[in-house]
Amino acid sequence: MVNHITGVDYMFDSSNIKLHRSGYTMQNTTTIIVALLIAVIASAMMTELAANIFLISPVFAQQQQQQQKTLRIGYFPNINHAQAVIGLGKGDFQKALGANVKVETFAFNAGPSAIESLLANRIDVSYIGPNPAINGYVVSDGKGVKVIAGATSAGASFLVRNDSGINSVKDLGGKKFASPQLGNTQDVALRKYLQDNGFKTTENGGNVTVVPVANADILTLFLKKDIDGAWVPEPWATRLLNEATGKIFVDERDLWPPEGKFVTANIIVRPDYLNENPDIIQKLLAAHVNETQWINSNKKEAIKEFNIQLKKLTGQNIPEDVLSEALTRLEFTYDPIKLSLFQSTNDAYDLGFLAKGKARPNLVGIYDLTILDQVLSEKGLPSVGDTVGAGNNASNTEGEVLPDVVS
């Protein structure tokens, strides 16, 4: 029996199967058939693969896009936030966070606006002073703020005019002093110091006047002899010392024995952002620790770099000799110095600036230093998260907003 297929004749009989094609051997024909089958199969597979790639590509692109995250960082253009000013300005933080994290920066001039932005979900993280951090925690009933690292310690002093007649504590009566803002960190320190030494302010029936004045205006009032002294942060303390014939009456470090450490800036975060993005926070804190160490090891270079970045932010800079002297009273650190924040909370409450008429706030949940300690452990540095807090055991409660807490 013969079947005819184009180009090939198949002949079958009962004993054998023979394949005949003019000019081809059995081996050649077999090779051609196998090659054709392979080509057909490969073509089908490539077609299916191409279709799959076409269908998967948009999904893959969407997944890649979803991996792109954003970190919105708040900070102040001042020396207390030098890690942020330098690290963000130079791109050190962006490099540490990686290409998949978009960094957006927000410069603030006062604590209340930074806290408001954090609680309103307009920023995720901020460098900030202790009193605004306390206030944000209290007004959010402990749900809106977590302190995740320290930034600076000390750097505040009580200066008086050389010709003010103030030579000892007993000379403070009947005098007029200034602080940067009502209820801010330095204002609380000044009022607490007066109270501890037996003086009352005029609004409380005493004879000592305390006025809230912006730092730049304090310098002017000092020069005009309209005030007798002021409790101010650096570099304003140095400027009053050098430009306004002032003298340091109290270096606040002396009020915090034994080491003279007290928090003047922390890093805070929204708890929901922390829970959803622990990897980003870890990279941020690693960058912060690195920047802190670099500044402490390279003070002269850090001062120059700070001024470069400050000029970009504000159009101004600070004389290098002023910054050099200011840094002798200011320490850059990642330790949040928990005990000092608890004490500042008690002082603000006792003075009527925090949770007035309500129970003393409990700050037991304000810190989450787990990631910071992980970063420190990886770098072979001591932990800071196991410090025991002091004397804040009352139940947590909502407090009133502190009036314009600047730092």
Strand partners, 211: 178
Q: How far apart are the C-alpha atoms of 30 and 162, rounded to whole Å?
A: 110
User: In angstroms, rounded to a whole number, what is the distance separating the alpha carbons of residues 8 and 24?
Assistant: 10
pLDDT in tens, 191-205: 999 999 999 999 999
Say if CB 348 and CB 354 are below 8 A apart: yes
Whether the per-residue pLDDT at 394 is higher than 50: the answer is no
Beta strands in 39-189, from DSSP E residues, in sequence order: 69-75, 101-107, 125-128, 146-154, 156-161, 176-179
Burial of residue 105 (CB within 10 Å: 0-12, 13-18, 19+) is middle
Q: Which of 128, 62, 69, 54 is nearest to 100 (CA)?
A: 69
> Do residues 213 and 221 lie in contact, with contact meaning Cβ atoms separated by under 8 Å?
yes
Q: For residue range 158-208, what is the model confidence (pLDDT) as tens digits?
A: 999 999 999 999 999 999 999 998 988 899 999 999 999 999 999 999 999
pTM: 0.78
Q: How confident is the model at residue 86 (pLDDT cuts 50, 70, 90)?
A: very high
